[in-house]
Structure 1
Amino acid sequence: MTQAIIFDKDGTLFSFNKTWAPWCTALMRDLTRDEGHARALSGCVGFDLDTGLYATNSPVIAGTPDDSADLMLPLLPDWDRTELIAHMLSRPVTPAPATELNALLTLLGARGIKLAVMTNDSEGAAREQLTALDVAHHFDAIIGYDSGHGAKPDAAPLLACATMLGTSAAQCLMVGDSLHDIHAGQAAGMRTLGVLTGIAGAEILSVADSVLPDISHLPDWL
Structure 2
Amino acid sequence: MTWQARAPLKAILFDKDGTLVDFDRTWAETNRKSALLAADGDAALADRLLRACGMDPETGATAGDSMFAAANATEIAAHMISHGSPFALADLSPMLDAAFVEGAEKPWPICDLDQLMGELRTAGYKLGIASSDGESGIRRTVEVLGLGHHIDFIAGYDSGHGPKPEPGMLLGFATHLGVAPAEIMMVGDNKHDMEMARAAGAGAAIGVLSGTGTREALSQLADICIGSVADLPSLLAR
Same fold (TM over 0.5): yes
Query: How far did residue 188 of structure 1 move?
Result: 1.1
Question: What's 1:144 paired with?
Answer: 156
Q: Which runs of 5+ in 2 are unaligned?
A: 1-7
Take 1:156 and 1:31, find their aligned partners in 2: how far apart are those partners?
30
Question: What's 2:32 paired with?
Answer: 25
Question: What's 2:12 paired with?
Answer: 5
Q: Does 1:106 find its partner at 2:118?
A: yes
Q: Kindly tell me the number of residue pairs found equivalent between the two proteins.
A: 221
3-state SS of paired residue (1:125)? helix
Take 2:126 and 2:191, find their aligned partners in 1: how far apart are those partners?
23
3-state SS of paired residue (2:70)? coil
Query: How far did residue 192 of structure 1 move?
Result: 0.6
Task: State how 1:182-197 maps to structure 2 within 5 Å.
Answer: 182-190=194-202, 191-197=204-210
Take 2:137 and 2:90, find their aligned partners in 1: how far apart are those partners?
16
Question: What's 1:88 paired with?
Answer: 96
Q: For residues 152-186 of structure 1, give each alpha carbon's deviation from its aligned partner in whole angstroms, at most 9, with x where no partner exists.
A: 11112211111112211111100000110001101
Q: Where does structure 1 differ by over 4 angstroms across 4 or more consecutive aligned residues?
A: none
Which deviates the most, 198-207 or 82-91? 82-91
Query: Kindly, what percent of the aligned residue pairs are identical?
Result: 36
Specify the code of the residue in structure 2 equivalent to 1:199: T
Question: What's 1:203 paired with?
Answer: 216
Take 1:82 and 1:136, find their aligned partners in 2: how far apart are those partners?
32
Contact 2:135 2:155 survives alignment (8 Å): yes
Q: Which runs of 5+ in 1 are unaligned?
A: none
TM-score by length of 2: 0.88
Take 1:30 and 1:159, find their aligned partners in 2: how far apart are those partners?
35
Q: For residues 67-121 of structure 1, give each alpha carbon's deviation from its aligned partner in whole angstroms, at most 9, with x where no partner exists.
A: 10001124222x2322212112212112111111100011111111101111111
Contact 2:19 2:210 survives alignment (8 Å): yes
